[in-house]
Structure 1
Amino acid sequence: MSRRAITLLLAAFLVLALGVAGAFRPVPYVVLSPGPTENTIGEVGKKPVISIEGRQTYPTSGALSLVTVAYQGGPAAQIDLLTALRGWIDPTVAVVPQETIFAPDRDPKEVEQENTVEMTNSQDSATAAALNELKIPYSMVVAVVSAEKGKPADGKLQKGDEINSVDGKAAKDVEVVSNAVKAHKPGESVVFNVTRGKEKLDVTLQTVAGPTGQPQVGVTMQAQYKFPFDVDINVGDVGGPSAGLMFSLGILDKLTPGELTGGKKIAGTGTVQPTGKVGAIGGIQQKMVGARDSGATVFLTPADNCAEAMKAVPDGLRLVRADTLHDAVTALDALRTSKGNVPACDAG
């Protein structure tokens, strides 16, 4: 073999070796894919997803399934370039920068804890929304869960503090408190009135800029409800607030005569406020794929996600727009009876 051929062969080998080595180098991306679905009126691990005690319940049929997004990657276990490339080719998954899921200045364990709190809040908000829809009274307080170390609330707000008002505005729910803080500019003062034990206190905090520039004080809150009966929701490791709408519908279905689904397999997503307002979520495309794979034919979609969802709706899945819990109930009634309006998503 000539010297030229040997040189070319060696160069080709080196290029191949570098390519292989590069393919397995970690990259700061996260792969999002369709996660598992759970039927909120069914069972998980031989235990009902929704259990209600102290109130009459009724038989259900079909499915009202929550949908999830699974992720691969993150600061503690970065994916390699080859995995990212496969994800970019696969239309059912998304590859996103790591910082869109894990804020650079946040400990992943903190984020996981926050997701757990959000899921608990979501379950309580879903129960409250269902009871509001049924006009069943209950009471609620906004309580401090934790204060982030090094942030303004650290050492000033304590776990268990009940927030009565912020800047004189009644703390009707967690969102009201959060919005009251966001109404300030970073560096401005915000006054929390709290009940600690038997004492009422005014706590003044100076806001700081969060990762996105929005003002914050570093407090994690939770709405603590006193419902007239027990509602227990069992979903295992699922975290975050995006299953709220489907929890509310599952609770409603169990508390009312008749079958909300008409025997159909319904899936959906969306946060829900105690008022019944449905909010947008992330990962809509992966959630639709998971819904269709589970056999669902109808997908309840938050209004603010409709435009994105319309770009990649799977064949055989009908998108139904859900602005509020009441709208979702009305749409399901119309689907079941073939009477009335079923609001559709549009690309606008």
Structure 2
Amino acid sequence: MSHQEDLTAYIAAFVAELSKTGVKDVVISPGSRSTPMALVMAEHPDLRIHIQVDERSASFFALGIAKATRKPVALLCTSGTAAANYYPAVIEASISRIPLIVLTADRPHELRDVGAPQAIDQIHLYGKNVKWFVEMAPPEKTEEMIRYARTVCGRAAATASSYPQGPVHLNFPFREPLIPIMDENMFELPERVGGYVEIETGRLSLSDQTFASISEDIASYTKGVIVCGQLDNSEFTDEVIALADKLKFPIIADPLSQLRSGEHDGQHIIDAYDAFLRNEEAKAALKPDVIIRFGAMPISKALTIFIKENRTARQFVVDSGAGWREPTMSASEMLYCDEALFCKKSARLQEQQASLTICKNGSPSMNLPKNS
């Protein structure tokens, strides 16, 4: 069996699996060593190929697609400093929790650390900024290695997509010749339908008992604030608006929260907080008993100071990624739960508690909104 047959079968299996995982968009920065992967990807009927010559531009272009679609995007480049130019976007993807599958071509092992052109150390190139790194095995057309290529691909897509979402890095060593044997049947896979590894990801949640306890605690406070930072969750906006309506709490909305515009009427949204939180009288008037926080820490320094100054308030930080987005050291509880789900269940429990209060007392125990 020739080297080119090994190369073609191995890469075709990987690319076919990439499509089966749900990846639709591939951004390619053209280069010599990545030629076999690029050519095979271009032949796949279900992949949208975007060519961006400049690697830095390409990486942020891919980042934008992934952020808009909330689905992993594959990013391909050749060996050497081309891969290094992806670094800023990889860091951004890591911090912003955006799914990227970074594919870097590399020199084979015998051409590393011997002065070969366009050869740098690409092992763990992006350090802790990726969720997972794999140095791929050299291409072979054996049943075991085809299964290996597909399994790694499935795991990479699942890792990038699972919460917290983020980038993964696969490094492919390719030997010359780099031209694959193009065949219209190269994407035909064995009888098994779907991927070799079927991975289901779900949303983090809390137990019903914990939800009930937290809901009861929140209901005991009459003066609260909801703080929303950057958060890419299509369901979150409607659910947090509904929760704010039930609680009669204002929402301090960061520019990246996606709450400052939309179909809602905006009556709960505070967007000019950076200005009035610098005013002592305004801060005193807003002083909360409880703060519920979602998403990344907002960029406003005035808001950061406000949160620190209210450490005596009960502060809940809700995070679907089970991370630690808490630079103020003011949180009372870290709640690892999907943000939209938390709002939905909490709003429902608040409504139930209000109904019980009406039944017992004849009137609702809540602050009614004032007419503006």
TM bucket by the smaller chain?
under 0.3
If asked which structure has higher relative contact order (CA below 8 Å, sep 6+), I would say: 1
**Structure with greater helix percent:** 2
Q: Larger Cα Rg: Structure 1 or Structure 2? A: 2
Normalised to the residue count of structure 1, the TM-score between the two structures is 0.24
Q: Which has the higher strand share?
A: 1
**TM-score w.r.t. structure 2 length?**
0.23
